[in-house]
Amino acid sequence: MPSNTLTTVVEKIDPTAIIKVDGPLNDFQAKDIAITIDDLLEKNFIHFIINFSKSHDVNSYGVSVLISIIQSIEKKQGKLLFSNIDSHLDKKFMSMGLKGYVKIFAKDKDALAYLVEDL
């Protein structure tokens, strides 16, 4: 049975943070990732990679939180990238219009390489 809790592990590669999420990005759990990113923005991290390898469920509230996160990051001239999404999340992000705002990569290292090339 899937867990209803969301845990995060943050790997810091200044000015980038890789956030590995484990669990659903729904309702109250989605706020946790927003708080994590807000805290990192205050510490001058501006680029973020969210790794979804252990998170396969995002509802519309989770997507709205992700959109809010995108806006906060863009105010700091940063970027939000996703990695390791499965086909289910890929379709969900496409249908909710999120893929127009976020680049998606197969692996964290690909997203990091993109950031290095883009800087």
Judge whether 23 lies within some domain.
Answer: yes
Query: Rounded mean pLDDT of 41-58?
Result: 95
pLDDT higher than threshold 60 for residue 2? no
| 79 in any annotated domain | yes
Instruction: Please determine, for residue 6, whether its predicted confidence score (pLDDT) is greater than 50.
Output: yes
Domain-located, residue 114: no
Structural domain count of the chain: 1
Flag whether pLDDT at 27 surpasses 60.
yes
119 in any annotated domain: no
pTM: 0.92
Nearest CA to 81 out of 104, 63, 101 is that of 104
Residue 91 lies in a domain: yes
Quick check: is 27 in a domain? yes
CA atoms within 13 A on the CB side of 25: 27
Which CATH number fits the domain that encloses residue 40? 3.30.750.24
Contact at 8 Å (CB) between 93 and 56? no
CB of 24 closer than 8 Å to CB of 89: no
Residue-wise pLDDT for 85-117, tens only, equals 999 999 999 998 888 899 999 999 999 999 998
Query: Residue 2 CB: number of other CB atoms within 10 A?
Result: 8
Range of the domain at 60: 7-103
In a domain, 2, yes or no: no
